Copies of this chain bind each other. A is one copy, B any other.
Amino acid sequence: MSAEYQLDQDINHAIIEFYERLSSWEQSVVRDQGASLAQIHTVEILGANGAMRMKELADKLGITTGTLTVQVDRLVKAGLVVRQSSVNDRRSVEVQLTEKGQQMFAEHDQLHLQLTREMTAVFDDAERQQLLRFLARLNSTF
Protein backbone atom coordinates (compact mmCIF):
# COMPACT_ATOMS: atom_id res chain seq x y z
CA MET A 1 0.00 0.00 0.00
CA SER A 2 1.54 3.29 -1.13
CA ALA A 3 1.84 6.37 1.07
CA GLU A 4 -0.49 8.26 -1.23
CA TYR A 5 -3.09 5.53 -0.97
CA GLN A 6 -2.86 5.72 2.81
CA LEU A 7 -3.32 9.47 2.76
CA ASP A 8 -6.43 9.12 0.60
CA GLN A 9 -7.74 6.52 3.03
CA ASP A 10 -7.10 8.80 6.00
CA ILE A 11 -8.84 11.72 4.34
CA ASN A 12 -11.70 9.46 3.39
CA HIS A 13 -12.22 8.26 6.94
CA ALA A 14 -11.90 11.75 8.32
CA ILE A 15 -14.62 12.87 5.92
CA ILE A 16 -16.83 9.95 6.91
CA GLU A 17 -16.33 10.71 10.59
CA PHE A 18 -17.09 14.36 9.99
CA TYR A 19 -20.27 13.43 8.15
CA GLU A 20 -21.37 11.00 10.86
CA ARG A 21 -20.79 13.55 13.59
CA LEU A 22 -22.68 16.25 11.76
CA SER A 23 -25.46 13.80 11.07
CA SER A 24 -25.74 12.84 14.71
CA TRP A 25 -25.61 16.47 15.79
CA GLU A 26 -28.28 17.42 13.28
CA GLN A 27 -30.56 14.60 14.34
CA SER A 28 -30.28 15.56 18.00
CA VAL A 29 -30.67 19.29 17.47
CA VAL A 30 -33.62 18.99 15.14
CA ARG A 31 -36.01 17.46 17.65
CA ASP A 32 -35.70 20.50 19.91
CA GLN A 33 -36.80 22.65 17.00
CA GLY A 34 -40.03 20.66 16.71
CA ALA A 35 -39.40 19.20 13.26
CA SER A 36 -38.13 15.99 11.75
CA LEU A 37 -34.76 15.55 10.11
CA ALA A 38 -36.35 15.16 6.68
CA GLN A 39 -38.34 18.34 7.12
CA ILE A 40 -35.35 20.39 8.25
CA HIS A 41 -33.33 19.07 5.34
CA THR A 42 -35.96 20.31 2.95
CA VAL A 43 -36.18 23.69 4.64
CA GLU A 44 -32.39 23.90 4.71
CA ILE A 45 -32.05 23.34 0.97
CA LEU A 46 -34.83 25.75 0.09
CA GLY A 47 -33.37 28.33 2.45
CA ALA A 48 -29.89 28.02 1.00
CA ASN A 49 -30.85 27.80 -2.67
CA GLY A 50 -34.22 29.54 -2.94
CA ALA A 51 -37.38 28.22 -4.59
CA MET A 52 -37.08 25.24 -6.90
CA ARG A 53 -39.07 22.58 -8.72
CA MET A 54 -40.10 19.32 -7.08
CA LYS A 55 -37.80 17.25 -9.25
CA GLU A 56 -34.76 19.41 -8.54
CA LEU A 57 -35.51 19.40 -4.83
CA ALA A 58 -35.98 15.63 -4.79
CA ASP A 59 -32.61 15.22 -6.51
CA LYS A 60 -30.88 17.44 -3.99
CA LEU A 61 -32.48 15.49 -1.15
CA GLY A 62 -31.66 12.16 -2.78
CA ILE A 63 -35.27 10.94 -2.58
CA THR A 64 -37.99 10.16 -5.15
CA THR A 65 -40.59 12.70 -6.16
CA GLY A 66 -43.25 10.41 -4.71
CA THR A 67 -41.68 10.73 -1.28
CA LEU A 68 -41.24 14.44 -1.74
CA THR A 69 -44.90 14.99 -2.62
CA VAL A 70 -45.90 13.56 0.75
CA GLN A 71 -43.18 15.55 2.47
CA VAL A 72 -44.22 18.83 0.87
CA ASP A 73 -47.86 18.10 1.74
CA ARG A 74 -46.85 18.04 5.37
CA LEU A 75 -44.71 21.16 5.09
CA VAL A 76 -47.58 23.03 3.44
CA LYS A 77 -49.89 21.89 6.22
CA ALA A 78 -47.35 23.14 8.75
CA GLY A 79 -47.24 26.49 6.97
CA LEU A 80 -43.54 26.26 6.15
CA VAL A 81 -43.68 26.15 2.34
CA VAL A 82 -46.07 26.92 -0.52
CA ARG A 83 -46.57 25.33 -3.93
CA GLN A 84 -46.75 27.42 -7.09
CA SER A 85 -47.30 25.96 -10.52
CA SER A 86 -44.55 26.94 -12.91
CA VAL A 87 -45.25 29.36 -15.74
CA ASN A 88 -42.78 27.87 -18.24
CA ASP A 89 -43.75 24.28 -17.76
CA ARG A 90 -47.22 23.53 -16.55
CA ARG A 91 -46.21 20.07 -15.42
CA SER A 92 -43.82 21.57 -12.90
CA VAL A 93 -44.47 22.85 -9.42
CA GLU A 94 -42.25 25.36 -7.67
CA VAL A 95 -41.80 25.04 -3.94
CA GLN A 96 -40.73 27.94 -1.79
CA LEU A 97 -40.43 28.85 1.88
CA THR A 98 -43.09 30.96 3.57
CA GLU A 99 -42.20 33.67 6.07
CA LYS A 100 -42.48 31.05 8.78
CA GLY A 101 -40.28 28.67 6.79
CA GLN A 102 -37.62 31.32 6.41
CA GLN A 103 -37.77 31.96 10.11
CA MET A 104 -37.20 28.28 10.83
CA PHE A 105 -34.32 28.26 8.38
CA ALA A 106 -32.74 31.28 10.05
CA GLU A 107 -33.12 29.70 13.46
CA HIS A 108 -31.58 26.43 12.34
CA ASP A 109 -28.83 28.23 10.47
CA GLN A 110 -27.95 30.07 13.67
CA LEU A 111 -27.49 26.75 15.47
CA HIS A 112 -25.22 25.60 12.67
CA LEU A 113 -23.22 28.80 12.97
CA GLN A 114 -22.70 28.22 16.67
CA LEU A 115 -21.45 24.73 15.96
CA THR A 116 -19.16 26.01 13.22
CA ARG A 117 -17.72 28.58 15.62
CA GLU A 118 -17.04 25.92 18.21
CA MET A 119 -15.44 23.68 15.63
CA THR A 120 -13.15 26.38 14.28
CA ALA A 121 -12.40 28.05 17.60
CA VAL A 122 -8.76 26.97 17.49
CA PHE A 123 -8.25 28.08 13.88
CA ASP A 124 -6.49 31.38 13.27
CA ASP A 125 -7.67 33.71 10.56
CA ALA A 126 -5.41 32.45 7.78
CA GLU A 127 -6.39 28.88 8.55
CA ARG A 128 -10.03 29.81 8.46
CA GLN A 129 -9.64 31.28 5.02
CA GLN A 130 -7.81 28.23 3.79
CA LEU A 131 -10.47 25.99 5.27
CA LEU A 132 -13.11 27.92 3.37
CA ARG A 133 -11.15 27.56 0.12
CA PHE A 134 -10.81 23.81 0.68
CA LEU A 135 -14.49 23.37 1.38
CA ALA A 136 -15.43 25.41 -1.67
CA ARG A 137 -13.20 23.21 -3.80
CA LEU A 138 -14.65 20.02 -2.36
CA ASN A 139 -18.17 21.26 -2.99
CA SER A 140 -17.44 22.34 -6.54
CA THR A 141 -16.26 18.93 -7.62
CA PHE A 142 -19.20 16.73 -6.76
A41 CA to B131 CA in the complex, in Å? 26
Residue of B nearest to A117 (CB): B8
Contact indicator A13/B48 (Cβ below 8 Å) = yes
Contact indicator B115/A18 (Cβ below 8 Å) = no
Residue of B nearest to A28 (CB): B62
Copy total for this chain:
2
Residue of B nearest to A58 (CB): B24
Q: Is the interface of A mostly helix, strand, loop or mixed?
A: helix
Q: Chain B contacts of A119 at CB under 8 A? A: 138, 141-142
Smallest distance from the beta carbon of A122 to chain B beta carbons, Å? 7
Smallest distance from the beta carbon of A68 to chain B beta carbons, Å? 12
Contact indicator B48/A11 (Cβ below 8 Å) = no
